[in-house]
């Protein structure tokens, strides 16, 4: 059975993303669009619009043309949106890069995306310079200042004409984030201007942001959740976005208080801190009206404890994935009694099926989604695209869900084997590949296990005969080769990794072993 949204259909937005978001910027004028939560520096809507146009002109002078790709490798800053919209105005696709990536991880994304320019910050130059060899990158620019490197500030001073680009919103890729999808290594997710623009209008029906709202941007803009919900959506609606480069609880709480933040979009580990950490006591959070959690499952009891402590009627949830631009479900903010643990109701103009293992519709089954937010596909990977989106346009999420009589979705399990650590995707296969480069390790498998309310990577390791190997040795080896969020957090030594006759690792047996201990 095809499940339809309870909300009226929305209009498909066939417009470039910079117009979708900044179309009213000159009307908003001196209203503050962005605030640096550390320095207090402010950028108005008129300034942001002008900055993006000058940066577009600067990119054009550097030879960027319609269809090129620009890599944006930076933490959250108030210049990030200007660079992003400047790039799309120049006709480029922006591939957003995880700020925690190592040089080898960045190199892989630069090669795969065929990026022509890499925009980063001075602090990241050691990683950036080590990553660009053997790529199409013609120049590294910095958002701040660094001797020997062109700054984005120079692009702001461009006197050249703003490029006039004929963008096809339905087919031109606006942003190319990387996701592991349901399985495997990271792949470029092609999201068109229509995909992400239309998804914003779908989200508006659920979130209802007011123009006077103040949003805290603590989740990274390079993640599709941060890009869409903390940057594109509030800037489209005339809200003020207070930007922080990373999560530090005390700084986060101070900014919530001093900046009178009205709405926070967070991930479950932040909900846990808000519910239990003593630092929350004594902080004035009276301006905070809504907290929404996404990027990973949130326990209903934890959500209730957090809401009670903050004096909110509930902690809202939403659901989606990078391949869905990213949203498909959200708990409506006007529902005074949403069910605990539900991730929300279906977005407007979105269809869903729950499909059992036999391929038939079921009361509880894999979540399939169809709608205008479904990605164009994986860059250069038609087979993986076809494995994720079927001929009828249904995207198979890999998550298992059920729907109650009110139309609320509950995500109860997942087919995919990705580990979600603090909202970040950690592919077990990637960690296994790293482990097997250690000459002291004969075989290895990785699964996600629960620890302190979060899912963490655990490695099951078979040591080479006669080799002395400790848990610390394994953790250190992996940590030196991957981004911090991908690090192995637990290690268990075993005699053999369980495998099928085909050689596929039987992770379900390892998960069953863990469950038996609980």
CA distances from 488 to 111, 265, 449, 481 (A): 26, 27, 11, 11
Among residues 400, 434, 468, which one ends one of the domains?
Answer: 400
Same domain, 387 and 432: no
Longest CA–CA span in the chain (Å) reads 72
Among residues 339, 373, 400, which one ends one of the domains?
Answer: 400
Query: Does 405 fall in a domain?
Result: no
Query: Does 226 fall in a domain?
Result: yes
371: exposed, middle or buried (C-beta count within 10 Å: 0-12, 13-18, 19+)? buried
Any bridge partners for residue 448, and if so which? Answer: 457
Cα distance between the two ends of the chain: 37
CATH number (domain holding residue 336): 3.40.50.12780
Same domain, 306 and 426: no
Backbone φ/ψ region at 341: left (φ over 0), alpha (ψ -120 to 50), beta:
left
Q: Which one-letter DSSP state was computed for residue 322? A: G
Q: What is the pLDDT of residue 226?
A: 95
CATH number (domain holding residue 493): 3.30.300.30
Query: Does 279 fall in a domain?
Result: yes
**How far apart are alpha carbons 128 and 149 in whole angstroms?**
12
**How far apart are alpha carbons 150 and 172 in whole angstroms?**
28
Same domain, 41 and 156: yes
Residue-range definition of the domain harbouring residue 499? 419-517
Q: What is the pLDDT of residue 182?
A: 56
Query: Does 338 fall in a domain?
Result: yes
Query: Does 411 fall in a domain?
Result: no
CA 469 to chain centre: 36
The CA-CA-CA angle for residues 33, 34, 40, to 5°, reads 135
φ, ψ dihedrals at 73, nearest 5°: -120, 90
Same domain, 423 and 301: no
Token representation of residue 61: 């002078």
**How far apart are alpha carbons 434 and 459 in whole angstroms?**
11
Contact 117, 138 (CB under 8 A): yes
Count of structural domains within the chain: 2
Same domain, 105 and 186: yes
Contact 319, 344 (CB under 8 A): yes
**How far apart are alpha carbons 97 and 75 in whole angstroms?**
9
Any bridge partners for residue 72, and if so which? Answer: 96, 119
Q: What is the pLDDT of residue 211?
A: 80
Query: Does 355 fall in a domain?
Result: yes
Same domain, 368 and 507: no
**How far apart are alpha carbons 453 and 485 in whole angstroms?**
16
CB proximity list for 428: less than 8 A, separation 6 or greater: 417, 418, 419, 445, 446, 447, 448, 457, 507
Q: What is the pLDDT of residue 446?
A: 93
Q: Which one-letter DSSP state was computed for residue 66? A: T
Same domain, 173 and 72: yes
Q: What is the pLDDT along the chain (518 residues), one digit of tens a residue?
A: 999 999 999 999 999 999 999 999 999 999 999 999 999 999 999 999 999 999 999 999 999 999 999 999 999 999 999 999 999 999 999 999 999 999 999 999 999 999 999 999 999 999 999 999 999 999 999 999 999 999 999 999 999 999 999 999 999 999 999 987 655 678 999 999 999 999 999 999 998 888 889 999 999 999 999 999 999 999 999 999 999 999 999 999 999 999 999 999 998 888 888 998 999 998 999 999 999 998 877 878 889 999 999 999 999 999 999 999 999 999 999 898 899 999 999 999 999 999 998 999 999 999 999 999 999 999 999 999 999 999 999 999 998 899 999 999 999 877 767 788 888 878 888 898 899 889 899 889 999 998 887 899 999 999 999 999 999 999 999 999 999 999 999 999 999 999 865 566 888 899 889 888 87
pTM of the full structure: 0.87
CA distances from 458 to 359, 450, 482 (A): 32, 10, 15
Among residues 400, 433, 463, which one ends one of the domains?
Answer: 400
Query: Does 492 fall in a domain?
Result: yes
**How far apart are alpha carbons 410 and 206 in whole angstroms?**
17
Same domain, 130 and 48: yes
Same domain, 395 and 428: no
Same domain, 391 and 447: no
Query: Does 111 fall in a domain?
Result: yes
Contact 455, 420 (CB under 8 A): yes
Contact 419, 428 (CB under 8 A): yes
Same domain, 452 and 374: no
**How far apart are alpha carbons 304 and 205 in whole angstroms?**
24
Same domain, 333 and 424: no
């Amino acid at each position: 059975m095809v499940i339809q949204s309870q909300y009226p259909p929305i209009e498909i937005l066939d417009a470039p993303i910079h117009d979708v978001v900044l179309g009213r910027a000159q009307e908003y004028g001196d209203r503050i669009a962005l605030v640096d939560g550390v320095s207090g520096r402010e950028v108005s809507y008129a300034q942001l619009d002008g900055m993006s146009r000058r940066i577009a002109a600067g990119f054009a002078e550097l030879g960027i043309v319609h269809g090129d790709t620009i890599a944006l490798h930076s933490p959250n800053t108030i210049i990030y949106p200007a660079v992003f919209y400047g790039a799309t105005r120049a006709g480029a696709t922006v591939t957003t890069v995880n700020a925690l990536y190592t040089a080898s991880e960045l190199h892989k994304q630069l090669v795969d995306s065929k990026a022509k320019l890499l925009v980063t910050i001075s602090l990241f130059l050691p990683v950036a310079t080590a990553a660009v060899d053997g790529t199409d990158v013609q120049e590294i620019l910095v958002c701040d200042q660094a001797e020997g490197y062109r700054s984005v500030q120079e692009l702001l001073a461009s006197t050249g004409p703003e490029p006039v680009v004929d963008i096809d919103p339905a087919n031109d890729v606006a942003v190319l984030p990387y996701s592991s999808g349901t399985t495997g290594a990271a792949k470029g997710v092609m999201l068109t201007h229509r995909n992400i623009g239309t998804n914003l209008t779908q989200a508006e029906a659920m979130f209802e942001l007011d123009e006077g709202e103040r949003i805290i941007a603590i989740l990274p803009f390079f993640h599709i959740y941060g890009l869409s919900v903390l940057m594109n959506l509030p800037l489209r609606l005339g809200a003020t976005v207070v930007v922080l480069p990373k999560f530090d609880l005390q700084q986060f709480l101070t900014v919530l208080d001093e900046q009178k933040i009205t709405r926070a979009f967070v991930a479950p580990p932040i909900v846990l801190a808000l519910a239990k950490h003593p630092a929350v006591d004594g902080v004035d959070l009276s301006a905070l009206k809504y907290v929404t959690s996404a990027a990973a499952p949130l326990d209903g009891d934890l959500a209730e404890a957090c809401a009670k402590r903050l004096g909110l009627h509930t902690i809202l949830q939403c659901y989606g994935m990078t391949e869905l631009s990213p949203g498909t479900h959200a708990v409506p903010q006007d529902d005074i009694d949403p069910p605990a643990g539900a991730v929300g109701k279906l977005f407007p103009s979105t269809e869903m099926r729950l499909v059992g293992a036999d391929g038939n519709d079921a009361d509880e089954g894999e979540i399939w989604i169809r709608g205008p937010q479904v990605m164009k596909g994986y860059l250069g990977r038609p087979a993986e695209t076809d494995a994720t989106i079927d001929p009828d346009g249904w995207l198979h999420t890999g998550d298992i869900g059920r729907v109650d009589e009110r139309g609320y979705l509950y995500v109860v399990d997942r087919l995919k084997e990705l580990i979600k650590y603090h909202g970040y995707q950690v592919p077990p296969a990637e960690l296994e590949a790293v482990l097997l480069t250690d000459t002291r390790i004969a075989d290895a498998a990785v699964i996600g296990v629960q620890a302190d309310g979060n899912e963490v990577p655990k490695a099951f390791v078979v040591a080479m005969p006669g080799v002395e190997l400790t848990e610390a040795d394994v953790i250190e080896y992996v940590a030196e080769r991957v981004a911090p969020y991908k690090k192995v957090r637990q290690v268990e030594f075993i005699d053999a990794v369980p495998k099928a006759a085909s050689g596929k690792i039987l992770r379900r047996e390892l998960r069953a072993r863990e469950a038996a201990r609980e």
